[in-house]
Amino acid sequence: MRVHAALPQPAPVMARTPAPGRAVPPPAPVEHSLEGLILRRTQLTTTGVTQYTTSQGNFYRFPAGTHHTNSTNRPRFPAPASALVVYSGAGNNGVEQVHTEAASAIGSLLGAMHTEGQRIDDESLKQAVVASGYRPSTVAEGRLYLNALRKTIRENPTIFPGMTFPASMEATAISELGTVGSATHDAFVDALGRESGWTPALARQLVSITSRFKAPRGGSPHQSGCAVDIDFPFATSAASVQNHGMDRNKNANAFRAAAGVWLNQFSRNFGFDTYDTSAEIWHQEWLDWPGTPADPSYQPPAPQLPPLPAQLPAVLPYRQSINLLRCIEIMGEQNGEYCRRQIARELERGGRPAMGREQFE
């Protein structure tokens, strides 16, 4: 273990004293493009930060930082199957699906993490991978929610002393309950509070604690394809390296890894954030979906009509005026633009009919 000494400022690339017997790779070139500028503004400061040299590479362990939450633009909607693609960008595992509209942004986020990992030589950033993307609202998701409820009970014996989740409520817990606070989920909480040994207060506390780590079936942002879980390793000593594996009990250590610190500080620069860094620093939601085709309320722009061949004069000749009115009468007001274009073409041709329909004469 070693602590970095203060570095001279300013320095475009952080220098570091090499460990005995180990050469430090040359610093990555600094780009002058817009992308390069963004990357330079998303660089960690490692001065005074502990670094472990392990059998799996080098890992920084930062001091415990400040947490934050986000509740804005959370993508809590289902994505149609037609909108999904297998994620193939930086940090892909070749399996996870994401929304096609979010794929490029996810690639930029992971690519920036890898670039920073190379710059400071940190394995948590270098090895960051999308371990979970789109997850549909299936029975499997319901079972995961039930397991999360049980885990909350086990890990909080002072709140739930000697208690277990009621067997009579298991099927309901697995069912599609929607988001916490929905009418269906509220009914589930009310029913749980009426179970033997339970109270409404205990039921509310159970779902409140659990909701920090797992959403009910039908309420997870993962069903949008716009949320990903990013797995990465961390070190707590030179002899202890492990992946967080999306385990709630490992979030505190993952948060102090370079990858966790970077996500906490810079994921917003790429349009991402987690709902609560104290719960799941690895869970990143794409917040820029409103107004894109990923938005459930998105309306594609109307096809552009070709420009009029000529503008209609303020006063039309009598015959053309009659033709315009008859065209609109026959074809309907919704086709008025079509009729105006036909009259304009007729005028361009010296008053000769352009419609090919003698009833307009």
pLDDT digits (tens, 9 = 90+) for 13-48: 343 444 444 444 444 554 555 565 566 689 999 999
Chain centroid to Cα 98, Å, comes to 9
What's the pLDDT at 250? 97
Q: Has this prediction a pTM greater than 0.85?
A: no
Q: How many domains does one find in the chain? A: 3
What's the pLDDT at 354? 44
Give dist(CA 60, CA 66) in Å, integer. 17
Q: Is residue 292 part of a domain?
A: yes
Please check whether residues 158 and 116 belong to one and the same domain: no
219, HSE (Cβ side, Cα atoms, 13 Å) = 25
What's the pLDDT at 327? 72
Please check whether residues 116 and 265 belong to one and the same domain: yes
- Which residues, 6+ apart, have CB-to-CB distance to 57 below 8 Å? 121, 123, 126
Q: Is residue 106 part of a domain?
A: yes
Strands 97-99, 84-86: pairing kind? antiparallel
Give dist(CA 195, CA 198) in Å, integer. 5
- For residue 329, what are the domain limits? 318-360
Query: Whose CA is closest to 249, among 167, 161, 155, 328?
Result: 155
What's the pLDDT at 37? 58
Where a domain ends, among 190, 210, 230? 210
What's the pLDDT at 301? 86
Q: Is residue 43 part of a domain?
A: yes
Q: Is residue 305 part of a domain?
A: no
Please check whether residues 201 and 242 belong to one and the same domain: no
Please check whether residues 53 and 121 belong to one and the same domain: yes
Q: Is residue 307 part of a domain?
A: no
Low-confidence residues of the chain: pLDDT under 50 = 4-27, 30, 352-361
What's the pLDDT at 21? 40
Where a domain ends, among 210, 241, 257? 210
Please check whether residues 101 and 151 belong to one and the same domain: no
Please check whether residues 20 and 131 belong to one and the same domain: yes
Please check whether residues 112 and 37 belong to one and the same domain: yes
Tokens representing 209 are 């604690």
Please check whether residues 96 and 176 belong to one and the same domain: no
The residue behind tokens 């000494």 is 5
Please check whether residues 107 and 27 belong to one and the same domain: yes
Tokens representing 156 are 């909080």
Asked if 218 contacts 144 with a C-beta cutoff of 8 angstroms, the reply is no
Please check whether residues 108 and 242 belong to one and the same domain: yes
Give dist(CA 168, CA 246) in Å, integer. 29
Please check whether residues 294 and 342 belong to one and the same domain: no
Please check whether residues 69 and 32 belong to one and the same domain: yes
What's the pLDDT at 242? 98
pLDDT in tens, 187-201: 999 999 999 999 999
